[in-house]
Chain A
Amino acid sequence: MKQIYEVEGTLNRGFVGQITYTICLEDTLSKLDIHFSFDGDKRTFRPEDVTDALIRETIETCRRNYALEIDEDRARGIILGDMKTEIHTLATLNDEFLGCIHKQLTDRHMLYENGTASEGCVPRESFEGVLKVTVLVFNVIKDKTHYRLTVSGE
């Protein structure tokens, strides 16, 4: 497949929202591959990332949001076991739903070919018009989390 579009970027810690890329397909395509990836090593915290400030912040968040009193060990467990960068990808063609990948993957393809499609995506035979790819950012736990998006077709 021929690459049609490529973009890279970084996300800051705490960003919540979406970024949409609009791609005008100049040809009618029978195959389409939307490939998205982001820093695997920035998806979760490592033991060396756990600072006193992060522990205090986690304890305070649990108290504020859930009236949940946790100690430092529990906070450390949440930081290392629960907190993660979570990004989904969504695609539409001429404002029609093409698919959304919700799986917790740092590297994913939305692949459409031969009447089949990746899980989460709706198969279709051809692609023409305006493709929009939306990066849905639920959570970013580390600054300068790098991502890359490519769109390829045939």
Chain B
Amino acid sequence: MFKRYELHNHTTESDAGITCRQLIDHMLADGVDCFAITDHNTVSGQPIIRKILAEEHLPIACAYGMEYTTYYGHIVCPVLEQYVPWDSINRKKPELLFEAAKRAGAVTGVAHPFSYGDPFARGCRFDMEITDFSNVDYIEIVNNPEPLHEVNEPGILWWESLVLSGVKVAACAGMDLHGLDSFAMKFATYAEGREGGDPVEELKAAVAAQRTWVSKGMLLLWEKAGDAVRFTLHDAKKPGFVPAEKYILTLKTKDGTRAWDIPSGGIELPLSEIGECAVPKLYGGDTTLENLVCVAPVIRAEE
């Protein structure tokens, strides 16, 4: 089974207009399996949510985290249960902070890397220079409120260039929720899980294995079978998702991007189409960015 994650959310504990209680109710109403609390530079909302979930036995899981909000970019940690200081932040050596957060058990992601910073909002753009990605679990390739072409497209392209050059880093999406915004036709993060499994542990395993899906509601699945790769579609039943009349599969490799219509029964392609590594994506109707539906886990020839 697949579980839906909302990994980037704020409350009145930092700068949002919704309380912890409202955040829980908003997530429950949309059928989210697991949401994260990621307030800016504070973990004060964590015990509030823990208490509500423990007392009311609600059918939803929470990942307790924080969003590092620094002068040089935001690092969203959907899992970070203790405050780890960032006052020695070094723009040229951010690995030290990623490493410290990971030592504390964090799941670490680069948030909205191409958001506009100074002079609009200092710190919102990720200006840190990462040379070692070993403690970076994922890139937030879609930050839903941000403009698609100006901010999210370069984020997707950056992540693609990283994985195609051999960096092992997952892709996730976030609502960056500061109010009761609708989730309909917005990108969420999905990962494989099992009935009764711990969604937080499953998230950790998924990002470690780069097995995450960024999707509006239809998931593009793939499976290697001998000398071929079989692609199928899976409807994640995300509320408000409007299915497309036809779907297109694209594979981006170092050599470029190719596209195929994908029928409802799926499609099988020879492994040679993958090369060393390929980024599979799903579009509805045509391959304009507006019609992007899903970014699937990277396919690597050696795995």
Binding site for B on A (CB under 8 A): 16-18, 20, 58, 61-62, 65-66, 78-79, 82-83, 86, 88, 90, 92, 97, 99-100, 102-104, 117, 119-122, 134, 136, 138-139
Contact = CB atoms under 8 A, between A and B. Distances in A.
Contacts of B116: 66
Contacts of A92: 85
Contact of B42 (A17, A83, A99, A138): A99
A120 B20 CA distance: 12
A83 B85 CA distance: 27
Contact of A102 (B14, B71, B85, B118): B14
Given A86-B122, A102-B69, A103-B14, 20 more contacts: A18-B87, A20-B87, A78-B119, A79-B119, A92-B85, A97-B43, A100-B41, A100-B42, A102-B42, A104-B15, A117-B44, A119-B12, A119-B13, A120-B14, A120-B39, A121-B44, A122-B43, A136-B41, A138-B123, A139-B118
A18 B87 CA distance: 8
B83 interface: yes
A138 B120 CA distance: 12
A138 B40 CA distance: 13
Contacts of A138: 71, 122-123
A123 to B, nearest CB: 8
A83 B118 CA distance: 8
Contacts of B117: 65
B47 interface: yes
21 contacts: A18-B87, A20-B87, A61-B118, A61-B119, A65-B117, A65-B118, A65-B125, A66-B116, A82-B119, A82-B120, A82-B121, A88-B69, A90-B41, A97-B82, A99-B42, A100-B42, A102-B15, A102-B41, A102-B69, A103-B14, A139-B118
A79 B195 CA distance: 52
Interface of B is mostly: loop
Interface of B: 12-15, 39-44, 47, 69, 71, 82-83, 85, 87, 116-123, 125
Contacts of A58: 119
Given A102-B69, A119-B13, A139 B122 contact: yes
Contacts of B44: 99, 117, 119-122
Closest 5 pairs between A and B when the two form their complex, measured CB to CB = A97-B83, A102-B40, A102-B14, A100-B41, A139-B122
A120 B16 CA distance: 11
Contacts of B83: 97
Contacts of A82: 119-121
A144 B255 CA distance: 55
B40 to A, nearest CB: 4
A99 B121 CA distance: 22
Contacts of B15: 102-104
B208 to A, nearest CB: 26
B13 A120 contact: yes
Given A16-B71, A18-B87, A65-B117, A102 B39 contact: yes
Contacts of A18: 87
A93 to B, nearest CB: 12
Contacts of B71: 16-17, 138
B76 to A, nearest CB: 14
Nearest to A17: B71
Contacts of A20: 87
Contacts of A78: 119-120
Nearest to A141: B119
A31 B118 CA distance: 38
A119 B47 CA distance: 12
A83 B117 CA distance: 10
B42 A120 contact: yes
A17 B90 CA distance: 11
A104 B12 CA distance: 12
Contacts of B85: 92
Nearest to B120: A82
A13 to B, nearest CB: 12
A99 B66 CA distance: 12
A82 B124 CA distance: 13
Contacts of A83: 119-120
